[in-house]
């Protein structure tokens, strides 16, 4: 196409992006060079002169700018089968299965659920969210920060002529003070909000968010926990536990990276009489039939693990029994969400079907969000092997 003067009419950035994305979607493995060649050929009149690298950059820009997003399918039939397998007869726990092998997608589904809960929150009362530790919780916090940065679309307070909760409070329910891995630590989740502060302030107004830390390491000896609770900052947190509107928990394999085993080991190191246990901790936990952790507490198939096998306690603001207690109450009094997401340890091949079984059987959640692989294995379908022909990037 050309103008009266015979010169090609340049495409706007948005028009070019549309062509690139349309063509890119036709190439299942997203080969950027093929996309560039096809577009240069088809739109000769525009003299595009695209290269594979330009296509790659444009797609990255679209993704970073929020124009392009992958939203995995919800598998509602599989979710129903999980509820049947779990013997659920009432309304709760509700189950959402996300078709993915990526923990970030499960976390995004949880973040959408939290935003929905905030939208449905009555009046201007403060809204309290409690976070346990771990990679999935971190991804939920990150996804929430992005949603609040775009709150005009997401929360819609202005159009509905509502202001939403006066304050939204983020509470760390556990501290894992690990200098090498701050992402695991809910005390560091406010970082995501600080990084997007200008956009969040523009969308949600100033001073909407409050953060409450819990400055205690992941696992300590019970007498040490009692002493910590006498210190001002911990005593204040324990005294002022709110009526949480939503509590977010996750679960992890025993022994995998990013799970609580290492914090238990660190706990052993801080207790002189337990220091000899560090090396044999994992085998002790296995002997006690520990299958992993739920809400930062070790569990075995028939219930929470009796930690008297190791004289330690998990240093959390709420323990697993209290979480279960809350999960038995009505949603209106605060809901408990458990994310069962693909293991973040790159060496790990296992699904979390066993932990999903625990969550379904032990009344620990109103809402369960689970990845499709764990759900399939749980209902007896086994896992579906995946092969992807890997085209080389240019
Ligand atoms: Zn694992």
User: Among 177, 216, 213, which residue's Cα sits nearest to residue 313?
Assistant: 216
- Residue 120 inside a domain? The answer is yes
56 & 80 share domain: no
CA of 391 to the centre of ligand 1 (A): 28
126 in the same domain as 17 = no
Asked if residue 393 has pLDDT above 50, the reply is: no
Domain count, the chain: 2
CA–centroid distance, residue 168 to ligand 1 (Å): 33
Backbone φ and ψ of 292, nearest 5°:
150, -155
| 210 and 315 assigned to the same domain | yes
7 belongs to a structural domain: no
pLDDT above 50 for 345: yes
Query: For position 85, which CATH number holds?
Result: 3.40.50.1360
Cα–ligand 1 centroid distance for 103 (angstroms): 12
- Which helix (H) or strand (E) is 225 found in, with range? helix 222-228
CA of 351 to the centre of ligand 1 (A): 7
Within a domain: residue 390? no
**Does residue 43 or residue 324 have the better pLDDT?**
324
Does 1 reside within a domain?
Answer: no
Candidate ranges 273-287, 304-318, 369-383; pick with highest mean pLDDT: 369-383
Cα distance between the two ends of the chain: 29
Question: 106 and 55, same structural domain?
Answer: no
Q: Is the pLDDT of residue 371 over 70?
A: yes
Residues 31 and 107 in one domain: no
**Residue 335 lies inside a defined structural domain of this protein:** yes
Domain housing 293: 76-378
CA 344–ligand 1 middle distance (angstroms): 7
Work out the mean pLDDT of the chain and round it to a whole number.
85
**Distance from Cα 252 to the centre of ligand 1, integer Å:** 7
Q: How far does residue 372's CA lie from ligand 1's centre (Å)?
A: 16
pLDDT over 80 (residue 302): yes
Q: Give pLDDT, residue 67.
A: 76
Q: What is the pLDDT of residues 143-169, one digit of tens each?
A: 999 888 887 655 666 656 666 788 999
167 in the same domain as 50: no
The model's pTM is 0.83
**28 shares its domain with 160:** no
Distance 352 CA to ligand 1 centre (A): 8
Residues 245 and 309 placed together within one structural domain of the fold: yes
Please indicate, yes or no, if residue 301 is contained in any of the structural domains. yes
Q: Do 362 and 291 share a domain, yes or no?
A: yes
- Predicted local confidence at residue 57, as pLDDT: 92
Angle at the Cα of 299 from the Cα atoms of 298 and 302, rounded to 5 degrees: 165
Q: Which residue has the higher pLDDT, 214 or 140?
A: 140
- Facing residues of 211 across strands? 170
The answer to whether residue 21 is domain-embedded is: yes
Residues 60, 82, single domain; the answer is no
pLDDT of 110 higher than 90: yes
Instruction: Pick the range with the lowest mean pLDDT from 259-273, 275-289, 290-304.
Output: 259-273
pLDDT at 183: 72
Measured distance CA(338)–CA(248) in Å, rounded: 6
Handedness of CA 173, 177, 181, 182 (dihedral sign): positive
386 located within any domain: no
């Amino acid at each position: 196409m050309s103008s009266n003067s015979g010169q090609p009419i340049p495409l706007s950035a948005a028009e070019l992006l549309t062509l690139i994305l349309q063509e890119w979607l036709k190439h299942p493995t997203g080969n950027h060079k093929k996309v560039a060649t096809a577009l240069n050929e088809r739109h000769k009149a525009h003299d595009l002169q695209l290269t594979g690298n330009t296509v790659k950059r444009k797609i990255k820009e679209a993704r970073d700018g929020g124009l392009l997003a992958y939203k995995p399918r919800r598998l509602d039939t599989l979710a129903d089968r999980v509820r049947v397998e779990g013997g659920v007869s009432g309304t709760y726990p509700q189950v959402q299965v996300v078709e993915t092998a990526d923990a970030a997608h499960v976390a995004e589904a949880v973040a959408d659920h939290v935003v929905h809960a905030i939208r449905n929150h009555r009046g201007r009362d403060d809204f309290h969210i409690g976070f346990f530790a771990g990679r999935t919780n971190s991804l939920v916090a990150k996804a929430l920060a992005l949603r609040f940065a775009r709150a005009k679309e997401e929360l819609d307070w202005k159009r509905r002529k509502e202001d939403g909760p006066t304050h939204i409070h983020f509470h760390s329910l556990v501290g894992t003070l690990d200098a090498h891995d701050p992402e695991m630590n809910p005390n560091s989740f406010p970082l995501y909000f600080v990084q997007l502060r200008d956009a969040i302030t523009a969308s949600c107004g100033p001073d909407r968010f409050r953060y409450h830390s819990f400055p205690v390491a992941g696992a300590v000896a019970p007498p040490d926990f009692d002493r910590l609770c006498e210190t001002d900052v911990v005593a204040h947190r324990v005294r002022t536990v709110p009526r949480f509107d939503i509590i977010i928990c996750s679960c992890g394999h025993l022994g995998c990276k990013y799970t609580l085993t290492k914090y238990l080991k660190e706990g052993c190191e801080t207790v002189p009489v337990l220091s000899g246990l560090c090396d044999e901790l994992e085998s002790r936990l296995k002997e006690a039939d520990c299958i992993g952790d739920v809400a930062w507490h070790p569990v075995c198939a028939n219930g929470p693990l009796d930690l008297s096998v190791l004289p330690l306690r998990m240093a959390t603001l709420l323990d697993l029994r209290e979480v279960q207690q809350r999960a038995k109450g009505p949603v209106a009094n605060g809901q408990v969400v458990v994310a069962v997401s693909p293991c973040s340890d790159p060496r790990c091949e296992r699904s979390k079907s066993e932990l999903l079984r625990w969550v379904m059987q032990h009344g620990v959640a109103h809402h369960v969000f689970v990845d499709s692989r764990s759900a399939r294995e749980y209902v007896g379908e086994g896992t579906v092997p995946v092969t992807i022909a890997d085209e080389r990037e240019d």
